[in-house]
Amino acid sequence: MEYLLGIDIGTSGTKTVLFDRDANPITAKTFEYPLYQEQNGWAEQEPEDWWNAVVQGVQAVLQASGVDVADIKGIGLSGQMHGLVMLDENGEVLRRSIIWCDQRTGEEVEDMNRMLGAEKIIQITANPAVTGFTAAKILWVKKHEPELYAKCAHILLPKDYIRYKLTGEYATEVSDASGMQLMDVAKRTWSDEILEGLGIEKRLLGKMYESQDVTGEVHQEAAALTGLAAGTIVVGGAGDNPAAAIGTGIVSQGKAFTTIGTSAVVYAVSDRMALDPKGRVHTLCASVPGKWTVMSCTQAAGLSLQWLRNHVCTPEMAEAAEKGVDPYEIMTAEAARVPIGSEKLIYLPYLMGERSPHPDPDCRGVFFGLSAMHERPHLIRSVMEGISFSQWECVEVFREMGVPIEDMMICGGGGRSPFWRQMLADMYGCSVSTVQSDQGGALGAAILAGVGAGIYSDLETACDALVRKKDSSEPNMAANGAYAKYFTLYKELYRTLFQSFKDLKNI
Ligand SMILES: Nc1ncnc2c1ncn2[C@@H]1O[C@H](COP(=O)(O)OP(=O)(O)O)[C@@H](O)[C@H]1O
Ligand SMILES: O=C(CO)[C@@H](O)[C@H](O)COP(=O)(O)O
């Protein structure tokens, strides 16, 4: 039997999944790690935590499955996008990674526009300068930690750091690297013009591959540590969203998915490179050769619900966890008891500033309309509705850009909830479907490994054969109308509060 390994370095934890060649998951293990938020709007993680979670995950999967490691034909990596990992000349980590949802780089975004011109940045990188992308983070370290920057010999993305630890190669691939804002996205290569304009040396960056290409082999030291066979191939893999796209079969135009993880993303594949000059959504290389993607990102989606779980629902959640019950199931059941609109309570999900459709590092979360009659279920439902309104607002941008969405799939932790899937179907006004495997990014990474290993001929054929729809939620247009009244107000609230968010920041 042949097997493939998918490793997904998420924000809350790393999931390692062993699949057989028919994409059936054999064993899956997740190991979690902390997020450090030393200042309001900052977010960092320890690259060594990711590596330890990978080592533990691989060891646990190999032990539980008992497979012969020689039968594992390839490894695919998927991971949280945009995070900055800096290594010295010996490959040692220089500082904690500044991750995707960090919002400290407002000034650096202005610097980028001054250094290169906003038009040129859009023309080459396919996106206006964004706080969340890696380029602004690099400039921040250069400005604020110059001694440390001087020691930097390698700049990598989170999953590419794991590649380095497994294979010793400094490499990346187009889907994740296009979220660094250092690429010519149309040509799928590093852009000399952007790098020179920003003063970032090309020698610091990894070698560029397509997602399905073989980038190296597991070396002896990593093999001894993990239990893998030395020589096992590691393919490019993909950012977690482009990898989830493969895992949910989103490989051709017209198909799209919504994922609700720590962040939430709406992601559509396109044959042409569609841009939004206002930067409300991102344009990146897809992990399918010759295709691009339009993708939105709500920074604090599942994170908002997690925040509510940790700080508002605490005693019940601890009790649930002790009984082995998923706390989110208790929360969503409570939310379902409240009518649409949460009895006039609207939540804006800007706990970590926002990217889509408002590229704004300074906005923050809001409960609007809070009344003494509201109870915890209202808070939970309004958080879920606010996150969903944000997805709906992004889908409106996709439609405005002429990006077709004929089929909407769903994945991520939030996608496990039938109640949440129905809410999204009602808002979008189209069906929202799950796929049989809920392994998203890990499955996509494993399929990419299968193409690299020659087990599958190409991604489209592999997805046609391996990815199957499971449950579909059909839209209820009466519910759509009821949500629409709140949605109009939800959209107005950002505009109304825009200046107040800036004033709050400046106190
Ligand atoms: N059963 C559930 N119902 C609703 N939401 C859930 C459920 N399980 C997880 N979630 C949400 O999904 C988030 C985690 O999603 P996941 O895709 O595992 O995260 P990541 O890839 O960002 O680490 C949680 O923060 C929570 O908000
Ligand atoms: O920044 C983005 C996409 O642009 C995020 O989607 C990250 O890629 C992290 O994702 P999750 O941990 O929420 O899956």
List, in order of start, the domains of the chain with CATH numbers.
3-248 (3.30.420.40)
**How much distance in Å is there from the Cα of 82 to the middle of ligand 2?**
8
> 5 near 17, Cβ under 8 Å?
yes
Of ligand 2's atoms, which has the minimum distance to the CA of residue 10? 12
Whose CA is closest to 412, among 367, 443, 376, 454?
Answer: 443
Per-residue confidence (pLDDT) for residue 320, from 0 to 100: 80
**How much distance in Å is there from the Cα of 303 to the middle of ligand 1?**
8
Q: Which ligand is nearest to the CA of 317?
A: 1
**How much distance in Å is there from the Cα of 151 to the middle of ligand 2?**
28
Measured distance CA(388)–CA(170) in Å, rounded: 38
CA-to-CA separations, 277 to 282, 393, 425, 469, 503, in angstroms, rounded: 10, 17, 28, 34, 27
Contacts of 445 (CB under 8 A, 6+ apart): 6, 7, 8, 76, 77, 78, 237, 238, 243, 246, 247
Residues in the chain: 507
From 98, 101, 263, mutation site for ligand 2 pocket: most ligand atoms within 8 A of C-beta: 263
Reading the block at residue 355, the tokens are 């990217």
Other Cβ atoms closer than 10 A to 224: 10
Q: Is the pTM of this model over 0.90?
A: yes
Q: Which ligand is nearest to the CA of 304?
A: 1
Look up residue 293 and give its DSSP letter: E
**How much distance in Å is there from the Cα of 241 to the middle of ligand 2?**
7
Per-residue confidence (pLDDT) for residue 314, from 0 to 100: 82
Measured in degrees and rounded to the nearest 5, phi and psi for residue 342 equal 50, 40
Q: Is 465 helix (H, G, I), strand (E, B) or coil?
A: helix
DSSP conformation letters of 469-497: EEEEEPP-HHHHHHHHHHHHHHHHHHHHH
Per-residue confidence (pLDDT) for residue 322, from 0 to 100: 83
Report the binding-site residues.
81-82
Cα 239–Cα 470–Cα 325 angle in degrees, nearest 5:
80
Ligand 2, atom 10, residue with closest C-alpha: 80
Ligand 2, atom 1, residue with closest C-alpha: 100
Q: Which amino acid is at 339?
A: P
Q: Which ligand is nearest to the CA of 239?
A: 2
Check 49, 176, 240, 362 and give the catalytic one: 240
Pocket lining for ligand 2, CB < 6 angstroms: 10-11, 80-82, 100, 132, 179, 239-241, 261-263, 265, 297
Measured in degrees and rounded to the nearest 5, phi and psi for residue 71 equal -85, -5
**How much distance in Å is there from the Cα of 103 to the middle of ligand 2?**
14
> Does the annotation count 240 as an active-site position?
yes
Whose CA is closest to 442, among 63, 69, 57?
Answer: 57
Q: Does residue 420 have its Cβ closer than 6 Å to ligand 1?
A: yes
Of ligand 1's atoms, which has the minimum distance to the CA of residue 11? 23
From 9, 78, 328, mutation site for ligand 1 pocket: most ligand atoms within 8 A of C-beta: 328
- Residues in a beta bridge with 8: 15, 78
Other Cβ atoms closer than 10 A to 428: 22
- Residue-wise over 437-476: b if at least 16 C-beta within 10 A, else e? bbbbbbbbbbbbbbbbbebbeebeebbeebbeeeeebebe
Ligand 2, atom 9, residue with closest C-alpha: 80
Measured in degrees and rounded to the nearest 5, phi and psi for residue 357 equal -90, 15
Q: Does residue 239 have its Cβ closer than 6 Å to ligand 1?
A: no
Cα 269–Cα 273–Cα 274 angle in degrees, nearest 5:
85
Tell me the pLDDT of the chain (507 aa) as tens digits.
Answer: 999 999 999 999 999 999 999 999 999 999 999 999 999 999 999 999 999 999 999 999 999 999 999 999 999 999 999 999 999 999 999 999 999 999 999 999 999 999 999 999 999 999 999 999 999 999 999 999 999 999 999 999 999 999 999 999 999 999 999 999 999 999 999 999 999 999 999 999 999 999 999 999 999 999 999 999 999 999 999 999 999 999 999 998 888 999 999 999 999 998 889 999 888 999 999 999 999 999 999 999 999 999 999 998 888 777 887 888 889 999 999 999 999 999 999 999 999 999 999 999 999 999 999 999 999 999 999 999 999 999 999 999 999 998 878 779 999 999 999 999 999 999 999 999 999 888 889 999 999 999 999 999 999 999 999 999 999 999 999 999 999 999 999 999 999 999 999 999 999
Look up residue 57 and give its DSSP letter: H
**How much distance in Å is there from the Cα of 306 to the middle of ligand 1?**
8
3-state secondary structure labels for all residues of 105-119: CHHHHHHHHHHHCHH
Whose CA is closest to 314, among 330, 337, 338?
Answer: 330
